[in-house]
């Protein structure tokens, strides 16, 4: 599953640089996560890095983008290949 940032985000700027897939970006009011790029850090780290650094615990699973661990890993492979191209 991808992750999402809730409206409890305080725009502290700590999550964006931690994302290895560049999935986090500044939205209109708060930071947002592109579900096409989010792999929950699978392939990079054991745990989602944005969740680890978030001081207000506002990054839950995105239930609108359900994916298995295998699907997230396949997405990771695609992202790595696209960056290398």
Q: Would you kindly state where each structural domain of the chain is located, as residue ranges?
A: 16-84
Mean pLDDT value across residues 20-27: 97
Reported as half-sphere exposure (CB side, CA atoms, 13 A), residue 20 has a value of 16
Architecture field, domain 16-84 = 2-Layer Sandwich (3.30)
| DSSP three-state, residue 25 | strand
Instruction: Report yes or no: 15 and 24 within 8 Å, Cβ to Cβ.
Output: yes
Mean pLDDT value across residues 23-33: 97
Residue bearing tokens 């992202």: 79
Instruction: List, for residues 39-71, the tens digit of each pLDDT value.
Output: 999 999 999 999 999 999 999 999 999 999 999
């Amino acid at each position: 599953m991808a992750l999402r940032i809730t409206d409890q985000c305080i725009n502290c700027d700590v999550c964006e640089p931690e994302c290895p897939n560049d999935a986090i970006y500044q939205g209109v009011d708060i930071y947002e996560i592109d579900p096409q790029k989010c792999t929950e850090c699978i392939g990079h780290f054991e745990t989602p890095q944005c969740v680890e650094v978030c001081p207000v615990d506002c990054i839950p699973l995105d239930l609108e983008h359900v994916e298995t661990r295998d699907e997230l890993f396949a997405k990771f492979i695609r992202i790595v290949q696209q960056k290398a191209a």
